[in-house]
Chains A and B, each alone.
Chain A
């Protein structure tokens, strides 16, 4: 059994996760990647999506991340995200309203609508909801 790796997920508002993990799987912009202890130093941006890891007892944990990047070192993974929530902390109601709002914005013909922003909001809301339902 390989050694555990330290995982830290921090947002500007708080540290979401700070514990040891057996393996960390994160959604990099160029593809999902897994990190075990002893990984080569690695730095990448993250997509909106789900990071999952096995905690010390081997239980699978899921964390929603958006707007972040990850740094992997041989003994530690640090994720800096603008927002991150554990699955149990996801506010489904809020995600639902965000989803509706984004859909409405995309559907409207108004030229002032920032399409890219609305699409990002939509993606965030959909990811949150699908993760919460798993």
Chain B
């Protein structure tokens, strides 16, 4: 049995760890609120944009923009991998990376040439060790506060890459936020732009049908202008979701860690008390034994 002193030290150290995990939990909680309110603030923009885009897409021709046209042969694929910069958030990053691996395995027979655009250090570190080359990396974005310009910078590079045939397809892998306890690694195609579903049915009732809109310039040109923006929106929304998910994942992980600390402290305290009791018993035995001996 370990000595009293050792157990005491161990208890102390576990308590210290608990303080840290608890503090991290609270920090994550407050950052989560920030991330959620950014998501909230983004929703009206994204919603309106999708609505207008949907109705425009119906009006405009199929070949309104080269971004809509799939490449005949798909060889070069770019994956935007959104992960967090920092660890201690459970399996969050590992799950995202696993999603990329899954895609790679599924497409192994197509001989794709895969490059990565990394948001977040964890994904970058993984990419460095893997056999795929990194086209671009953005650190210090996810998990903090960032503006739309981050997404539009990345978006522009990818669009340029798509147009000059550096990439034939672009995907994004990100952590979809489904609530506090649930973050799902999701994968979405960004380029070529998948057919846009119109959300006309929902909005028909209160807004007049867009066919009556006067468009300036023509619907085709408008669509051509909006599609690249839409890509930026997709990227921005992926970044926001990943940020929110990261904080939620960290909160859960730190919550578990704090609970585990509690359990350990309980166990160790029990052990400590047992050792102390054993010590007292031994001492008593000594005294009693000594007294008996004196009696003679």
A residues with a Cβ closer than 8 A to B are 8, 10-15, 28-30, 40-45, 67, 69, 71, 73-74, 78, 80, 82-83
In contact, A82 and B216 (Cβ under 8 angstroms):
no
- Known contacts A13-B38, A69-B225; decide if A80 and B212 are in contact (CB<8 Å): no
Complex Cα gap A114–B236 (Å): 23
In contact, A10 and B217 (Cβ under 8 angstroms):
no
Report B-chain residues with C-beta under 8 Å of the C-beta of A28: 216
Report B-chain residues with C-beta under 8 Å of the C-beta of A83: 148
Report A-chain residues with C-beta under 8 Å of the C-beta of B44: 8, 10, 15
The DSSP consensus for interface residues of chain A is strand
In the complex, which residue of chain B has the Cβ closest to the Cβ of A29?
Answer: B217
- Known contacts A45-B222, A73-B207; decide if A10 and B216 are in contact (CB<8 Å): no
Does B208 touch A at the CB level, under 8 Å?
yes
Complex Cα gap A43–B213 (Å): 6
Find the residue from A13, A30, A71 having the highest chain B CB count within 10 A: A13
Report A-chain residues with C-beta under 8 Å of the C-beta of B226: 69
Complex Cα gap A30–B226 (Å): 16
- How many Å from the CB of B215 to the closest CB on chain A? 5
Complex Cα gap A8–B225 (Å): 21
In the complex, which residue of chain A has the Cβ closest to the Cβ of B52?
Answer: A71
Does B110 touch A at the CB level, under 8 Å?
no
In contact, A13 and B210 (Cβ under 8 angstroms):
no
**Chain B interfacial residues counted at CB < 8 A:** 30
How would residues 144 to 160 of chain B score, 1 for a CB under 8 Å from any chain A CB and 0 otherwise? 00011001100000000
Report A-chain residues with C-beta under 8 Å of the C-beta of B56: 43
6 examples of A-B residue contacts, CB within 8 angstroms: A12-B42, A14-B41, A43-B210, A74-B208, A82-B148, A82-B232
Q: Which of B49, B147, B215 contacts A44 (CB 8 A)?
A: B215
In contact, A13 and B42 (Cβ under 8 angstroms):
yes
In contact, B233 and A12 (Cβ under 8 angstroms):
yes
Q: Which of A12, A13, A69 contacts B222 (CB 8 A)?
A: A69
Besides A10-B45, A12-B233, A78-B48, 6 more A-B contacts (Cβ < 8 Å) are: A12-B41, A42-B216, A43-B56, A67-B229, A69-B226, A82-B152
- How many Å from the CB of B50 to the closest CB on chain A? 11
Complex Cα gap A15–B208 (Å): 23
In contact, B214 and A82 (Cβ under 8 angstroms):
no
In contact, A41 and B222 (Cβ under 8 angstroms):
no
In the complex, which residue of chain B has the Cβ closest to the Cβ of A76?
Answer: B207
In the complex, which residue of chain B has the Cβ closest to the Cβ of A44?
Answer: B216
Complex Cα gap A45–B151 (Å): 20
Report B-chain residues with C-beta under 8 Å of the C-beta of A82: 148, 152, 229, 232
In the complex, which residue of chain A has the Cβ closest to the Cβ of B41?
Answer: A14
Q: Which of A12, A40, A41, A42 contacts B148 (CB 8 A)?
A: A12
- Known contacts A45-B225, A71-B52, A78-B48; decide if A12 and B236 are in contact (CB<8 Å): yes
Complex Cα gap A64–B12 (Å): 58
How would residues 172 to 199 of chain B score, 1 for a CB under 8 Å from any chain A CB and 0 otherwise? 0000000000000000000000000000
In contact, B214 and A43 (Cβ under 8 angstroms):
yes
Complex Cα gap A68–B120 (Å): 29
- How many Å from the CB of A133 to the closest CB on chain B? 24
- How many Å from the CB of B3 to the closest CB on chain A? 59
- How many Å from the CB of A39 to the closest CB on chain B? 10
Complex Cα gap A121–B6 (Å): 65
Complex Cα gap A29–B38 (Å): 30
Report B-chain residues with C-beta under 8 Å of the C-beta of A78: 48
Complex Cα gap A6–B193 (Å): 33
How would residues 202 to 220 of chain B score, 1 for a CB under 8 Å from any chain A CB and 0 otherwise? 0000011010111111000
- How many Å from the CB of B128 to the closest CB on chain A? 26
Complex Cα gap A40–B151 (Å): 34
In contact, A13 and B148 (Cβ under 8 angstroms):
yes
Q: Which of A8, A14, A42 contacts B214 (CB 8 A)?
A: A42
In contact, B225 and A12 (Cβ under 8 angstroms):
no
In contact, A43 and B148 (Cβ under 8 angstroms):
no
In contact, A30 and B216 (Cβ under 8 angstroms):
yes
